[in-house]
Amino acid sequence: MPKPGFHGPLIRVNECCWRIPKSYKPGMRVDGLIYSSEEMIQQLVADQAPEQVANVAFLPGIQHASLAMPDLHWGYGFSIGGVCATDPSDGGVISPGGVGYDINCGVRLVRSNLFFKDVEPHRKRLVDQLFRDVPTGVGRGGKFKFTPKELRRLMVEGPRFLLGRGLAVERDIEYTEAEGCLEGADPDNVSDRAVERGKDQCGTLGSGNHFMEVQVVDDVFDEDAAGVMGLQKDMICVMIHSGSRGLGYQVCDDALLMLRGVPERYGIELPDRQLACAPVHSTEGQHYLGAMRAAANYAWCNRQLLMWQAREVFASVFDRTWQELQMDLIYDVAHNIAKFEEHAIGDTGEIKKVWVHRKGATRAFPPGHPEIPPLYRGIGQPVLIPGDMGRASWVLVGQAGSMEQTFGTTCHGAGRAMSRTAAVKHAQGRRIDHELAARGVIARSQSWKGLAEEQPAAYKDVDLVVEVVHRAGLSKKVARMRPIGVIKG
């Protein structure tokens, strides 16, 4: 039996980047580039994820390199933390494995005018009411119900559909990536089974690594950028991490079934069946893109409704409207998505429109980019990096280096350090909620297993991950957030 891990060549490029040369495997069209530190690289090569980075380099039309962020770990087809761009004019493909099952899983951050001293006396009541009022758990439905006709509109319009229902305000949309709507969404490409799964799950948290977390601004590293976002030390914020729920999962499952045998039909040779793909301009490619965009728009609505419920809970606990509490959305970013973007490619700097696959990775556009809300154009796009529920999360801003190196991309979280099975085994005989309470975090979950799978030890240290992307010039530290209360499935 071969030893687990990656045994191919890994050449150091600089203090933050390592290269897998395309000579490693016949069929690789570009190099692999992994962003990591010396401290973290040994943990990365103990996993099979670098092999997946090399495999992605086989995709037709891939540009520059197959990329991986420092939160890299094993995933379906692509590693989590994997990034690539394909050029449709060069035979480029679209691959559901480069988006993932939880289409547009992402994060949003909400500020408030409350500070730790204001919330601490009410913290237990606040977390308990969030857990009671915000639906969590596997397959759980919520209070927002949509008819099939309404769901079609929601999948086309994104959160703008919720404006008319009084469940969003214009500012919420302005401060969401892509304003919460990918054009070209086609609900007709979303199966009846996916629609059935999604009809009552919009506005629900789900399970796994999804969470709603009450956080305190623990430290500020860039006063100017923090000031633009309205962040101050000891301020209370709410971070929400969820995606497209059962609807998005089913869209991915349907696509992978549709793509069986398709690469061979187009003469595409792949080292891993999980990289199933289709040329962007093919019937199959366009079908998936229409459904993927619809699921992405659904996910933005899901996070909008989760935020709306959080606002209602805060208003109830503190006896003030959410507007009086200034619970404004700072930003919302997608982590699992494919988007058609304009980038300068490689050493030549040729400008191309490419399909950027971000699988467990965050868009990080720099100052001045036209897709950033005007308020943030002077500082760069806010980048939200959740860590584990016992340590920290981060707010950063995108930097010019992301456009030069990674198609405007940075990491998306801490990254798992152990599998869920290993984490449950590691937690035997322990009370994770009590351990978190000793760290000053009130945690509520539907099950012991849910907390065991997501215990802090199951994740890498997010501070180390963030340090890599900061040093690499992909995104810049703004503020560190400390959890004080969390609800999970």
Read off the CATH number of the domain in which 86 is found.
3.90.1860.10
Structure tokens at 79: 């590693």
Structure tokens at 374: 């005007």
Residue 355: predicted pLDDT = 98
151 within some domain: yes
Output the tens digit of pLDDT for each of the chain's 489 residues.
345 789 899 999 999 999 999 999 999 999 999 999 999 998 888 889 999 999 999 999 999 999 999 999 999 999 999 999 999 999 999 999 999 999 999 999 999 999 999 999 999 999 999 999 999 988 788 999 899 899 999 999 999 999 999 999 999 999 999 999 999 999 999 999 999 999 999 999 999 999 999 999 999 999 999 999 999 999 999 999 999 999 999 999 999 999 999 999 999 999 999 999 999 999 999 999 999 999 999 999 999 999 999 999 999 999 999 999 999 999 999 999 999 999 999 888 899 999 999 999 999 999 999 999 999 999 999 999 999 999 999 999 999 999 999 999 999 999 999 999 999 999 999 999 999 999 999 999 999 999 999 999 999 999 999 999 999 999 999 999 999 999 998
| 244 three-class SS | coil
How many CB atoms neighbour CB 467 within 10 A? 17
DSSP 144-193: ----HHHHHHHHHHTTHHHHTTTS--HHHHHTBGGGG--TT--GGGS-HH
Residue 346: predicted pLDDT = 81
3 within some domain: no
95 within some domain: no
Residues labelled catalytic: 412
16 within some domain: yes
Residue 463 half-sphere exposure, CB side, CA atoms within 13 Å? Answer: 9
Task: Provide Rg for the chain, Cα atoms.
Answer: 21
When divided into structural domains, the chain yields a total of 1
pTM reported for the whole predicted model? 0.97
Residue 348: predicted pLDDT = 85
84 within some domain: yes
5 within some domain: no
Structure tokens at 254: 């349907």
Alpha helices in 393-484 (DSSP H): 400-405, 420-426, 432-438, 448-453, 462-471
Strands (E), 75-163: 80-86, 93-94, 106-110
The whole-angstrom separation of Cα 56 and Cα 48 is 13
H/E stretch holding 228 reads helix 223-229
Residue 84's DSSP bridge partners are 357
Give the N- to C-terminal CA distance of the chain in Å, as an integer. Answer: 38
Residue 1: predicted pLDDT = 38
What domain range includes position 444? Answer: 11-90+105-488
The whole-angstrom separation of Cα 329 and Cα 33 is 34
97 within some domain: no
244 within some domain: yes
Residue 3: predicted pLDDT = 58
Whole-angstrom CA distances from 241 to 81, 110, 172 are: 16, 12, 16
